[in-house]
A and B are shown apart, each in its own frame.
Chain A
Amino acid sequence: MSSILTCNNLSKSFGNKKALNNINLNLERGRIIGLLGPNGSGKSTFIKLCNDLLTPTSGELQIGGNAPGIETKRIVSYLPERTYLNDWMKVSEIIQMFQDFYPDFNVEKAYDMLKRLSINPSERIKTLSKGTKEKVQLILVMSREAQLYLLDEPIGGVDPAARDYILDTILGNYQENATIIISTHLISDIEQILDDIIFLQNGQVVLTKTVDEIRDENGKSVDTLFREVFKC
């Protein structure tokens, strides 16, 4: 099967600081991939590059055969680590907006998830709690039938009880053929759903493996391996 994301010698610098240094990756369709690394390892920079929110300093990045741009934005569903909702809108209005701009947006799915999380669609976003806003955002992102989902710290801000629901939501709402990249440092929480892992450190890929390989070869959990690799 063709790969969804490839990068060759991808680098990004901010002034003298190298945030990403010669990244080479080839990610396949239909996988759930953990992008793991300590704070400041370049996870968010990588995800922002994939979303055309940053321009690479050098190297090449392609998603579905295209460099980041309009074509890739149509097939990529992105959850940033912050709230990006226009707070003057009602929940139903932001859903309408997603429906307007993304042809792959599934409205029924969105309303269904809102109902299950008992979020009132006619409520103003301004009045929602921080956790609820994050849930709305996740619903918007997962209601798209995208080919690549880029989730930046999707469980960072919510309580452990909601984490399970969110992981279920992620699992239950993506096409078999789609790939999900989840960036986080809360590894033990998401370990059970991952197929592959990428370890990032100081802007470089230090390890890419499937979770099965890690268990077979190292006889360890991803969490344990992470603690070993990134031992301070």
Chain B
Amino acid sequence: MLGKLLKYEIKATARLFLPLYLTLIIFTVINSFLLFIPNAGENSFSFYGFLTTISMIIYVTLMIGLVAMTLIVMIQRFYKNLLGDEGYLMFTLPVKSWNHILSKLTISILWTVTSGIVAFFSIMFISSKNISIPELLNMFSRAFDSFIQYFGASAYLISLEFIVLGLLSIASTILVIYAAISLGHLFNKYKLLASFGMYIALQTVSQIIMSLSAAIFFNQDIFRPGTPFIPSATLVTGILLIGILYYGVFCAGYFALTNYILKRKLNLE
């Protein structure tokens, strides 16, 4: 059933994201094309200059739109599809409530990562007036090679840890929003305002816990000022692992809280 939920979640969101990605790609190409043409005259107001400006404005707007849309769709899909009228259908499907959360979370992570990749390559493409894309990729692979040289076999473990940590930090960013919306939904009035308040409250609590644990963790000899800091493979692996555990615990907590509310305290309008 999780697979089916994922399928419908992708269907519901792809229709919004794919056209936006396509538009962004088209304007990336238009912009880089316009930037490549040598300017006719620096001082004269030209149709070409006007075109470049307009195209650039559209491009920047699209970039901002991409960020905004990723966030808005993430919130909308949870709030509207589960806690709005559509929730009457979703919660009467023979599916466990944690499946709903997991499917929404997975697809949100997917779009966040995809949006990030699209934005990254788009900016690279536009700014790479002097470097070509293959060259750029080559640069990355060389950087990775020296990274492997430095850390040896642990480099792969470190890369894996980086990816897991990245995904978990995205997941916890999303899950704290889900938890805040669910908590806000427990209020009879001003649900949206309450959700916002709950978001600030949850973030504050997380920040306090993080500061406290960081204070304890970094209060060790190797982090004392004056000690020469050499990032050994073991140290980096360890620090990343702690980060993974930290985000893992937060993700689990927010997930459990959201699931408890959806399962036991659900009260659709």
Contact = CB atoms under 8 A, between A and B. Distances in A.
Given A70-B95, A101-B94, A53 B8 contact: no
A18 interface: no
B95 A101 contact: yes
Interface stretch (B82-90, B136-144, B156-164, B241-249): B82-90
A97 B8 contact: yes
Contacts of A88: 12, 15
Interface stretch (B17-25, B47-55, B218-226, B261-269): B261-269
Interface string A49-62: 00111110000000
Interface stretch (A76-84, A173-181, A204-212): A76-84
B237 interface: no
A190 interface: no
B94 A102 contact: yes
Contacts of B94: 70-71, 73-74, 101-102
Contacts, number: 58
A108 interface: no
Interface residues of A, number: 25
B169 to A, nearest CB: 31
By size class, the interface of chain B is 20 to 34
B256 to A, nearest CB: 17
Contacts of A78: 88, 92
A53 B266 CA distance: 6
Interface string B36-58: 00000000000000000000000
A53 B97 CA distance: 11
Nearest to B267: A54
A110 B95 CA distance: 22
A51 B268 CA distance: 12
Given A53-B268, A55-B264, A88-B15, A83 B85 contact: yes
Nearest to B268: A53
A9 interface: no
Contacts of B189: none
Given A54-B267, A101-B95, A82 B1 contact: no
A39 interface: no
A77 B93 CA distance: 10
A48 B266 CA distance: 10
A53 B96 contact: no
Given A73-B93, A101-B95, A84 B86 contact: yes
B266 A101 contact: no
A164 to B, nearest CB: 26
Contact of A73 (B12, B92, B263, B264): B92
Contact of B1 (A55, A93, A101): A101
Interface in A94-108: 97, 100-102
A85 B89 contact: yes
A86 interface: yes
Interface string B78-108: 0001000111110111111000000000000
A53 B88 contact: yes
Interface of A: 14, 48, 51-55, 70-71, 73-74, 76, 78, 80, 82-86, 88, 93, 97, 100-102
29 contacts: A48-B268, A51-B92, A53-B88, A53-B91, A53-B266, A54-B266, A54-B267, A55-B265, A55-B266, A70-B94, A70-B96, A71-B94, A73-B92, A73-B93, A73-B95, A74-B94, A78-B88, A78-B92, A80-B88, A82-B85, A83-B85, A86-B12, A88-B12, A93-B11, A100-B8, A101-B1, A101-B95, A102-B93, A102-B94
Given A14-B267, A55-B264, 18 more contacts: A48-B268, A52-B91, A52-B92, A53-B88, A53-B91, A55-B265, A70-B96, A71-B94, A73-B93, A73-B94, A76-B92, A78-B88, A85-B86, A85-B89, A86-B12, A101-B1, A101-B4, A102-B93
Complex A-B, nearest 8 residue pairs according to Cβ-Cβ distance, in ascending order: A84-B88, A84-B89, A73-B94, A80-B88, A74-B94, A101-B93, A70-B94, A78-B92
